[in-house]
Amino acid sequence: MKLTGAEEELMNYLWDLKKAYMKDLLDAYPEPKPAATTISTLLKRMQEKDFVGYNSQGKSRQYFPLVSKENYFAKHLQGLIKNFFNDSPAQFASFFAKQTQFSSQELQELKSIIEDQIQDQ
């Protein structure tokens, strides 16, 4: 399941905070801050999508992510590779390396990461 842009923005704040009350989430936003009702609606939708959970603390709720940022990003990346690169990680890697204009040092670092992954398999 996917998050909307507004939900992703809120989720990023929650991933950074790890656990947060509504006030903490509102404080994380830059000015102009969204209305508390907007955040509340987003949190409710995100709970229905099983991205966010909460613990009741009296009348307040402390929210926490149910999905890690890494898992969410990995799933999106897999979808991107499937939909735009014919399900070919090699096509994606080629496009990524050519279009991002990495320096020689950055390309060497990527090469080293790939070589480490090959050795670990």
64 close to 17: Cβ distance less than 8 angstroms: no
**Is the same domain home to 56 and 28?**
yes
User: Which structural domain range is residue 13 located in?
Assistant: 5-65
Residues 11-63 have pLDDT tens digits of 999 999 999 999 999 999 999 999 999 999 999 999 999 999 999 989 999 99
The torsion of the CA quartet 9, 14, 15, 19, rounded to 10 degrees, works out to: 180
**Is the same domain home to 73 and 56?**
no
For residues 13 and 89, which has the higher predicted lDDT (pLDDT)? 13
The overall pTM is greater than 0.95? no
For the chain, the average pLDDT equals 92
**Is the same domain home to 50 and 101?**
no
Number of domains the chain is built from: 2
**Is the same domain home to 76 and 57?**
no
> pLDDT band at residue 121, thresholds of 50, 70 and 90?
confident
Give the length of the chain.
121
Q: What is the pLDDT of residue 111?
A: 86
Domain's final residue, options 20, 36, 65 = 65
The domain that contains 52 carries what CATH number?
A: 1.10.10.10
Distance in Å from the first CA to the final CA of the chain: 30
**Is the same domain home to 12 and 50?**
yes
**Is the same domain home to 80 and 55?**
no
Q: How far apart are CA 81 and CA 75, in angstroms?
A: 10
What are the angstrom distances between the C-alpha of 66 and each of 49, 53, 87, 117? 10, 6, 28, 28
